[in-house]
Amino acid sequence: MNEQSVELNLSEIQQNIRDACDRANRSVEEVKIIAVTKYVSTKRAQEAITAGVSHLGENRDDGLLMKWDTISNQATWHFIGTLQSKKVKNIIDKVDYIHSLDRKSLAEEIHKRAKKIAKCFIQVNVSGEDSKHGLTPEEVPGFVKTLSEFHNIQIVGLMTMAPYTEEEKVLRNCFRGLKSLQQEIRSMNLPFAPCTELSMGMSNDYKIAIEEGATFVRIGSALVGNEQ
């Protein structure tokens, strides 16, 4: 586990983000940090809030519900893991963003259960790895069009997970692919799919992701550590 305080980790990450934005000629205000708290306690998640993080991300419904009971509306909540349709009812009124929309049956359940507009990212498997969930890039435009009937869903952007590698070219190709696809969806000018956001980049690759256009970076171990 990263033993440093969340506050110190956050300071280092914010400097890295500023540097990446400078390299890409971007404004630092365009990038939001999601603290991924899957592997840490509610106390550690609360420490992130106290340090100044306002976005928390959870991969499992039980983990989210446990932390939400304590932290509640102190945070903007992101569900970033694979979401089973049967679990939607457990989290839909707790989360602000869902990062893993990848099938129409899930969209139907979100639409049915949502009491307000659900902000969703479509998960895209840009790398084509069998271990990754998500639609292929070729499937995304058609899938977006099928969502027009779901008035409780807004497609705010696209999400991907890059391969776990230190090969910068591989990472950049993945992130650029998602950026290109996001621009394609945005250019469709669909009122229910503004698609202005890019959720990409984690502890090992967020600096490259920001250089390639990320607006949300999902940082766990480098920020809050790992208590498991």
Structural domain containing residue 20: 6-224
Which stretch of DSSP H or E encloses residue 211? helix 206-211
Mean pLDDT of 93-110: 97
Backbone angles phi, psi at 70, to 5 degrees: -95, -45
pLDDT at 1 over 50: no
The answer to the question of residue 1 being in a domain is no
Instruction: Kindly report, residue by residue over 30-58, the tens digit of the pLDDT.
Output: 999 999 999 999 999 999 999 999 999 99
Q: How many domains are there within the chain?
A: 1
* The predicted structure's pLDDT at residue 34: 98
Residue 82 belongs to a domain: yes
Quick check: is 64 in a domain? yes
CA 28 to chain CA centroid, nearest Å: 17
C-alpha pair distances (Å), 51 with each of 34, 73, 85 = 13, 16, 34
Buried b (16+ CB within 10 A) or exposed e, 30-56: ebbbbbbbbbbeeebbbbbbebebebb
> Over 60: is that where the pLDDT of 144 sits?
yes
- 3: pLDDT confidence band, cut at 50, 70 and 90? low
**CATH number where 211 lies:** 3.20.20.10
Q: 32 lies in a domain?
A: yes
- The Cα–Cα gap between 130 and 126 comes to 11
DSSP E strand stretches across 64-221: 76-79, 97-101, 118-123, 153-159, 197-199, 216-219
Query: How confident is the model over 208-219, as a mean pLDDT?
Result: 98
pLDDT tens for residues 163-181? 999 999 999 999 999 999 9
* 76: in domain: yes
Q: How high does pLDDT run on average in the chain? A: 96
Chain segment 181-206, per-residue pLDDT in tens: 999 999 999 999 999 999 999 999 99
Q: Which residues pair with 197 in a beta bridge?
A: 157
Is 148 domain-assigned?
yes
pLDDT, one tens digit per residue, over 117-127 is: 999 999 999 99
Per-residue tokens: 165: 């590698």
User: Which value, to the nearest 10 degrees, does the dihedral of the CA atoms of residues 227, 63, 94, 99 take?
Assistant: 80
Q: What confidence category does residue 4 fall into, taking pLDDT thresholds of 50, 70 and 90?
A: confident
